[in-house]
Structure 1
Amino acid sequence: MTSTATPPRTSAPSSRPSVAPQRGRRTGGRRRVVGTVVAVVLVVLVATAVWLVYFSSVLATRSVVVSGTRDLSAEQVTAAAAVPLGRPLARQALDDIARRATALPQVSAATVTREWPGTVRVSVTERQPLLGITQPGGFLVADKAGVVFAAETTLPPGVVQVSADPANRPLLVELGSVVDALPQDVRDQVTSIEAVTPDSIRLKTVSGITITWGDSSQSALKAQVATALLASGVKTSIDVSAPHAPATR
């Protein structure tokens, strides 16, 4: 009798899920949740900041500060600038405010800035009076740019009296260039300047001397020549219209 022995079967080891992938999935899930929360918080913070700065009354404009005035008052500049109080400071139209401030004839330039949390600063540059244009009952005052910006009953200190058409701005610019070129001691001697055309400028001094200037070209050189000739004791007149060949009488 033959018997066949069959070796016992060994069962295969049972497969168990790895712990590492499960841990990785849990970590990744937590990171995604944290990332989402952080993103939501950032969005909320940015939205809140935008609302606070641009739309809420927390940073609204509460005051206007004016600087740089000389003859104008702060109240005059404030009224002209017309800054809308209560508007969020970030939404103030600074260029528009500056444009309104320069609508004042006395203002040549204006700079507007924000000062947090709630102030608008308006810094102005007033025109420098240089020419006093003779008029019935007083003078129209113009700066070196030929801009007439004030009327006075008497000639302001340091302003040179001129006879010219106040509506002729190019001519006033020529006269301003001449006055600007004069040394202070010579300017102090000038009682008046007259001109009908840009090349017919003439100055008169306290001693009665007439200085024929011509146009405003080479005014710095003409001023040097005129200064030297005045110091030499000229009696009646000086002609520096051709400064390299001046004439005296």
Structure 2
Amino acid sequence: MVATLDEATEVITPPKAPNPWLAKYDRYLYGLIGLAGFIAVWWAVVQFGYVSDLYLSKPLDVLNAFIDGIADGTLTSEIWPSVQRALVGFASALVAGIALGILVGSVRIFQKLTEPVLLFFRNLSLLALLPVFVVFLGIGEESKIAIVFWACFWPIFVTAVGAVSNVERILLNAARTLGAGRVYIFTRVVLPAAIPGIFPGIRLAAANAFTALVAAELVGGAQGIGIYINNAALRYQTPQMYAGILTLGLIGILVNGVMTAVEWRVTGWQRGLTSK
């Protein structure tokens, strides 16, 4: 079949280039649209009686309860005790998890010896251990910090073991060939190569800190966001209860942002090596 002159000389129009502004900010734009849709569904579910406002408050009522709690101090006074417990437990787990993870990951015999114990405890529910912490440490600060430590330790420890043990042997052999000693290889080769692999565990542990903290504070105590949420639920103060949950979510977003910035800063050398 012979093509006509018009078909042969047809100019193919190239596709339009994407809007550079949309290409740069589309993640945030779609995120805002998704958030707005979630809030709209939330409002409609309560507004049209699908769920009683005794169990689920409207978004505006939750926002007002959050603002009032910040303004009168009833909510802000509960934030710092929780943050303090989370920071102490997380920091302790960070030091212990990285130190023990590097030790176990560096010595193959330790890794083989601890594998069964590691497999058991990493899959053990934290809620099942709450009574154990209470029996040994009571319902004071020690048990709450210990619960946070336990929840944070395992993600850091597991990723540290994996990151150190999976350092490419070609890097170690190259360093040995150049005459590097054990201390130099460990500090200049193993640790820099393992850090990017450890950070996912650190970020997961930071998220676990506040999840475990709420469970720990429900055991008992005088102050804390978990206690605030529980007291509001017992008094049927539904907007205040969800305001406490909103506070936890905002703290989690803030913590994730901080950890992402730290990871970006610490692992910047890797992006330089892998960028085209």
**What TM-score do you get using the length of structure 2 for normalisation?**
0.19
**What TM-score do you get using the length of structure 1 for normalisation?**
0.21
Larger Rg: 1
- Greater RCO, CA 8 A, separation 6+: 2
Q: Which has the higher strand share?
A: 1
Q: Which has the higher helix share?
A: 2
